[in-house]
Amino acid sequence: MAFIEGLIQYDFLQKALLTSIIVGIVCGVIGCFIILRGMALMGDAISHAVLPGVAISYALGINFFFGAVFTGVVTAIGIGFVSQNSRIKQDTSIGIMFTAAFALGVILITVLESSTDLYHILFGNVLAVRPSDVWITLIIGLIVLISVYVFYKELLVTSFDPTMAEVYGLPVRLIHYFLMTLLTMVTVASLQTVGIVLVVAMLITPAATAYLLTDRLSVMIFLSAAIGASASVIGLYFSFTYNLASGATIVLSATALFFVAFLFSPKQGILWKKLNDKKNRLALQ
């Protein structure tokens, strides 16, 4: 109840709620494609790789969005370049490149002595969202949602059957980097809410939860967005009420929802699977 009163009373809490709901939705949508393409690790990599970009942006006095997108995309290209031009596998390449970018970011923040609070970038501080941050989040959210709507067909076919897509002439690699760019933008939008370290959870956990609940990509996207948004609201409530880090409470809310689906999903839930196994065995006796 204090949360509702707080919402009415405090402007900062309204901004926090709005931002985290947008982040929940957008991460949920992009996350579906990330997990279906087996790129969960890539999501983690890109989110860490924005750190040097954030540091440089602060040093140059520009909005951190531009630097973050730049280093995020450069890292994504670097990962692809290393794995395609050597025997190094994709996951290894990811491990090499994103830790390098992250380490560079840590040094840059120290050397440039920027006003950036490393702790807040790493773990998020949604209660300190500024109006300009709300706008950036909203604009990024719209760009991402419109892109997914417009290119839904192409994203579907390149995720499910990239060979067919290539044969009929889709620029499969370009679409991959386009998705990486969207992913980077989503990460930047999530910096304030959940922070670099935990953004991967917002990308993967709601999408994975939705994956357990449906057999259709279009439905999965809507479910994932709804789950992401719900986790944001629940998480923010606990963050505000018990004075906990918002990133952590939002992620744990998403995890809790995942385990509910993991146990009780009508088709995939382990509870029903176990019960059915038992029923079958009893019927045979």
Would you tell me which residues interact with other proteins (CB under 8 A)?
A: 36, 150-154, 156-157, 159-161, 163-164, 166-169, 211, 214-217, 219-220
CB closer to other proteins out of 131 and 169: 169
CB of 99 to other proteins, least distance (A): 28
Token pair of 84, please?
């395609």
In the chain, how long is the greatest CA-to-CA distance?
Answer: 74
CB closer to other proteins out of 166 and 233: 166
CB closer to other proteins out of 7 and 170: 170
Token pair of 180, please?
């990486």
CB closer to other proteins out of 81 and 160: 160
Helix (H) or strand (E) run with residue 209 in it:
helix 195-213
CB of 208 to other proteins, least distance (A): 12
DSSP state of 114: -
What distance in Å separates the CA atoms of residue 229 and residue 233, rounded to the nearest whole number?
6
What distance in Å separates the CA atoms of residue 190 and residue 50, rounded to the nearest whole number?
11
Cα angle 191, 196, 198; round to 5: 105
CB of 87 to other proteins, least distance (A): 9
CB of 29 to other proteins, least distance (A): 14
CB closer to other proteins out of 103 and 164: 164
Cβ count within 10 A of residue 195: 23
CB closer to other proteins out of 123 and 151: 151
What distance in Å separates the CA atoms of residue 112 and residue 92, rounded to the nearest whole number?
30
DSSP state of 85: S
What distance in Å separates the CA atoms of residue 119 and residue 117, rounded to the nearest whole number?
5
Helix (H, G, I), strand (E, B) or coil at 38: coil
Token pair of 112, please?
């440039």
CB of 159 to other proteins, least distance (A): 8
CB closer to other proteins out of 216 and 281: 216
CB of 102 to other proteins, least distance (A): 30
CB of 172 to other proteins, least distance (A): 10
What distance in Å separates the CA atoms of residue 180 and residue 30, rounded to the nearest whole number?
10
DSSP state of 115: S
> Computed from CA positions of residues 158, 160, 164, 168, in that sequence, does the dihedral angle turn out positive or negative?
negative
